Amino acid sequence: MNAIKQPIRWGIIGCGEVTEVKSGPAYQLTEGFELVAVMRRTEAKAKDYAQRHQVPKYTSHAEELIHDPEIDAVYIATPPDTHKHFGIQVAEAGKIACIEKPLAPSYADSLAIVNAFKQNGIPLFVAYYRRSLPRFLKIKEWIESKKIGEVRHLEWQLCKPPNAIDLSKRYQWRTDAVIAPGGYFDDLASHGLDFFTYLFGSVIHASGISLNQQKLYSAKDAVTGVWQHHNGITGMGNWNFGSANAVDKVQIFGSKGRIEFSVFEENSLLLEIKGRIETVRIPHPKHVQQPYVEHIRDHLFDPNKTHPSLGDSALHTSWVMDQILSI
């Protein structure tokens, strides 16, 4: 691709809820970036977003935004089943992309996206932003400094009761088997599984059981998986979205101690060594994707820096998820 010039002008495809606070403002606040256009299928909603966030241009046509000569990079924040369609168009237009997680509903579609960007020599970033958050980097620091010795095993339990939309059987894309075969597993478990590979490296074997226990929607609502990292560390997860109680608990067991934390709750990190417990609370920034977006800037402008969440790492996460879901 051509030399990257500052500022990089971004457009957003899909300016929905996630872009209101979590991600959209980060592209406006990051030095060297500008947010110049947004797209949503309903033009009135695109206009409303643009006016509230002081974005110069808006449209209801994704292709118009992708091919706008005043846009250098595109953030795709639409449901996963559209990522391949829009992602390949962005790659063929020769523009940088950030795509929301999961990269696609399947490993095959994820591979097609990654290959399109590689063939066109274009950077691809995927919004597994926990790889950039200080709270999760503290866990990585503990692991790398061997606070708990040699890591042996990790476990994650994520359980939630069905919400009002689930019980009403009203449609939402997160539980549509065509868009998200694993249901909430696709949307939520992807974050943790990706972070585990960031901590412990690639997974060489994964398998699982997935089914629909409640029959409230078409996607899976109960998943159990096991996996092995390349270095022999084993993992186990249970994700159930029909339980009475909400639980989000990760435990990492080492030869000298353990680490406990949640993936989604902002509770304190726990470090236990020989019965002695230390807790650390690290709050997230207001715009939770801000560090992740700043790392995109660093990757693009500094040849000595590499972003922690690129196409290949997201592709590997897609493979792990496919294996656990047995699809």
Task: Report pLDDT digits (tens) over 127-185.
Answer: 999 999 999 999 999 999 999 999 999 999 999 999 999 999 999 999 999 999 999 99
* φ/ψ of residue 275, rounded to 5: 85, -10
Rounded to whole angstroms, the Cα distance separating 270 from 260 reads 5
pLDDT confidence band for 2 (50 / 70 / 90): low
- DSSP symbol at 257: E
Asked if 101 and 75 touch (Cβ cutoff 8 Å), the reply is no
pLDDT for the residue 85: 98
pLDDT reading at 327 higher than 90: no
Question: Who wins on pLDDT, 166 or 6?
Answer: 166
Q: Which residue has the tokens 């292709």?
A: 63
Asked if 98 and 30 touch (Cβ cutoff 8 Å), the reply is no
Rounded to whole angstroms, the Cα distance separating 7 from 74 reads 14
The reply to whether CATH 1.10.357.10 applies to domain 134-283 is no
pLDDT reading at 73 higher than 90: yes
pLDDT for the residue 171: 95
Q: Residue 187 has which token pair?
A: 């949307």
Rounded to whole angstroms, the Cα distance separating 132 from 161 reads 29
Parallel/antiparallel/unpaired status of strands 33-39 and 8-13:
parallel
Non-local CB neighbours of 265 within 8 Å, separated by 6+ positions: 248
> Which whole number is the average pLDDT over 8-31?
97
Say which CATH topology domain 8-129+296-309 has.
Rossmann fold (3.40.50)
> Which whole number is the average pLDDT over 181-207?
97
Asked if 162 and 214 touch (Cβ cutoff 8 Å), the reply is yes
**Cross-strand pairs, 279:** 270
DSSP letters, 15-69, are -SGGGTTTSHHHHHHSTTEEEEEEE-SSHHHHHHHHHHHT-SEEES-HHHHHT-T
Residue 263: which of 279, 247, 278 has the closest Cα? 247
The string of pLDDT tens digits covering residues 217-257 is: 999 999 999 999 999 999 999 999 999 999 999 999 999 99
Q: Give percent of the chain above pLDDT 90.
A: 98
pLDDT for the residue 4: 78
> Which whole number is the average pLDDT over 81-100?
98
pLDDT for the residue 211: 97
Angle separating helix axes 311-325 and 190-200, nearest 10 degrees: 120
pLDDT reading at 94 higher than 80: yes
pLDDT confidence band for 5 (50 / 70 / 90): confident
pLDDT for the residue 326: 87
pLDDT reading at 276 higher than 60: yes
pLDDT confidence band for 6 (50 / 70 / 90): confident
Residue 27: which of 288, 285, 290 has the closest Cα? 290
Q: How far is CA 255 from CA 14, 153, 156, 301, in A?
A: 46, 10, 19, 41
Domain range summary for the chain, segments of one domain joined by +: 8-129+296-309, 134-283
Type and span of the H or E element at 49: helix 43-53
SS3 for 249?
strand
What torsion, rounded to 10 degrees, do the Cα atoms 103, 107, 108, 113 define? 30
SS3 for 156?
strand
